[in-house]
Structure 1
Amino acid sequence: MSNWENQGLLVEWIWIGIGILSLVTLFITILVVNYMKSIKKNKRKVMQLVRNTQTECWENTLYLQEKDRKRLAEELHDNIISRLNLIRLNSAYRDINELNVDLKKSMQLIRELSHNLTPPDLGEIELSDLIADYLEQVNENMRIAYHHRIKKDIHINSSVKLNILRIVQELVTNILKHARATHIDLSLRISAKYLVLAVEDNGCGFVAGNKYGGIGLKNIYSRAQQIKAAYKLKTQPEKGTKFIICVIIK
């Protein structure tokens, strides 16, 4: 083979090499461009998810605020104002002892309402004590059994404390208003990994699908979401209701 032929063959292989290198470069460029597009797309998804989460949290906050305002208005109108109005109307026909009893009951209702609305001291007081303090304010005609078993030196953050306390208040309030129960059994268990709260009554029960919103479960669901808790409701007509909630302690 002549030198001319060898040079031609070499040039041909050089061009083939340049072509292959160009194709590889083009392929890598396409991969990089697609990868960058994927990163931007995923970033947009993450940002949208963050915005959706923020919106959901804000909506939950507004809902809870409106729920508390509605409850305050109902308590003032249905219990305190109505009771005080009856005292005023009947003051001329009842003796001082009966009026004194009615006034004490009205004061008790006001204390309960104030206790429910005032944020507790979450930093220094244990959750079990917060619940016990609240239960002491409940109507004395209701029998309440409160059991708690807590592992020592377990830290419960303020958000979990507040939301568990509010859930207890919501459950007990609903039992007093709707369940026609005579007994409430409440248990709190805190281990190294889990917090488990169970609230059970011997009331009339209900069909869960029919009264889901009416008994405040939406409020409880919102609070459970805030602390990433799982919960279960067990109820049947005339067989009482049992509510269990579990929180993983980090």
Structure 2
Amino acid sequence: MEKWQDPEIIALWIAIAIALVFTILLFVIKIMHAGYKRMTEANLKKAQTQLEHQKMLLETSLHAQERERGRIAADLHDGLIGRLTLIRMKNQIGAGQPELDALLADSITDARRISHDLTPPLLEFLSIEELIEQVVTPWDKRFEIDFYTDVRFDATLTAEFKIQLLRVVQELVTNIVKHAQATNIKVHLRHTPKKLILQVVDNGKGFDASQQKKGLGMQSLELRMQYFNAAYRIKPGAKGTAALFIIPA
């Protein structure tokens, strides 16, 4: 009988084969376990990152809300209430009716602007051009306003999209009015089939970009850009600041 036909030899080879298969299985299981462990750790890390990101967005959103309340309170105190107090004083000292009428007209304009800032009326029925125009035109007595739009697909913009974009313009214009010491504000809006391009430029003194990034205004803009999944660039300079936003539409 040949050796390979020897039952003991056959049993030995079977044992070796079983051991080899078992070893291979252990090796495969170990590799799969290591891969599963890495995948689990990666998923856990991703979940933790997303949780931290959501927490940061929530905190930014809450700060932005508080900041907006503070801005409205300041607008009421410094603008509308200040004008009404002045009207009362002027009336007490016998100011002429034309002067009082002019102050009342300015007060009405302030009240209307604050009301529009809170929630623009007929939001769903007004075009984005009309909404932005309501933001920039009240300042045409103090600034040279260059407002241009090329929007041919406004029907595709949702009310939420329009209000978020409007808040971006409000934030930029408010910063220019309060801090830029500018004389000219340029707001250009163009809507193509695939994207919406917003450009806001002033001729003011610019700002420190490293410090501006820490402010709630920039955090609010970043939050809205994440909502839009948009790209943006804000470039300060000695002759003013240029802000460019490219938003998928």
| Same fold? TM cut 0.5 | yes
For the residue of structure 2 that corresponds to 1:188, the secondary structure is strand
Matched, 1:103 2:123: no
Matched, 1:42 2:48: no
Partner of 1:229: 230
- Whether the 8 Å CA contact 1:185–1:201 is kept in 2: the answer is yes
The Cα shift of 1:27 comes to 1.6
More moved, 85-94 vs 149-158: 149-158
For the residue of structure 2 that corresponds to 1:216, the secondary structure is helix
The normalised TM-score by structure 1 is 0.86
For the residue of structure 1 that corresponds to 2:92, the secondary structure is coil
**2:232 partner amino acid:** Y
**1:20 partner amino acid:** L
Structure 2: state its 5+ residue gaps: none
Distance 2:222 2:82 in 1: 31
Q: How many residues align?
A: 248
**1:65 partner amino acid:** Q
Distance 2:43 2:209 in 1: 41
Percentage of matched positions with identical amino acids: 34
The Cα shift of 1:245 comes to 1.2
**1:131 partner amino acid:** I
Q: How far does the alpha carbon of each residue in 1:225-244 deviate from its partner, in whole angstroms, 9 at most, with x for none?
A: 3322222223333x122211
Distance 1:121 1:43 in 2: 45
**1:75 partner amino acid:** D
- Whether the 8 Å CA contact 2:61–2:220 is kept in 1: the answer is no
The Cα shift of 1:101 comes to 0.9
Within a 5 Å distance, the mapping from 1:47-196 to structure 2 comes to 47-93=47-93, 94-119=95-120, 121-152=122-153, 155-196=156-197
The Cα shift of 1:37 comes to 2.2
**Residues 186 and 200 of structure 1: is their aligned pair in 2 closer, same or farther, counting only changes over 3 Å?**
same
For the residue of structure 2 that corresponds to 1:140, the secondary structure is coil
**2:98 partner amino acid:** N
Distance 2:204 2:2 in 1: 107
- Whether the 8 Å CA contact 1:150–1:189 is kept in 2: the answer is yes
More moved, 162-171 vs 121-130: 121-130
The normalised TM-score by structure 2 is 0.86
**Residues 24 and 215 of structure 1: is their aligned pair in 2 closer, same or farther, counting only changes over 3 Å?**
closer
Structure 1: state its 5+ residue gaps: none
Distance 1:43 1:214 in 2: 32
- Superposition CA RMSD, Å: 2.6
- Whether the 8 Å CA contact 1:187–1:199 is kept in 2: the answer is yes
**Residues 80 and 212 of structure 1: is their aligned pair in 2 closer, same or farther, counting only changes over 3 Å?**
farther
Distance 2:139 2:75 in 1: 14
**Residues 208 and 41 of structure 1: is their aligned pair in 2 closer, same or farther, counting only changes over 3 Å?**
closer
> Moved runs in structure 1, 4+ residues, more than 6 A?
2-5
Distance 1:138 1:97 in 2: 22
Distance 1:214 1:55 in 2: 18
**2:190 partner amino acid:** R
**1:110 partner amino acid:** A
Q: How far does the alpha carbon of each residue in 1:123-155 deviate from its partner, in whole angstroms, 9 at most, with x for none?
A: 443322221233344353433121111244772
Partner of 2:21: 21
For the residue of structure 1 that corresponds to 2:229, the secondary structure is coil
Distance 2:11 2:130 in 1: 89
**Residues 217 and 37 of structure 1: is their aligned pair in 2 closer, same or farther, counting only changes over 3 Å?**
closer
The Cα shift of 1:213 comes to 5.2
The Cα shift of 1:4 comes to 10
**Residues 159 and 60 of structure 1: is their aligned pair in 2 closer, same or farther, counting only changes over 3 Å?**
farther
Distance 1:2 1:216 in 2: 90
Greater per-residue helix proportion: 2
Distance 1:122 1:67 in 2: 23
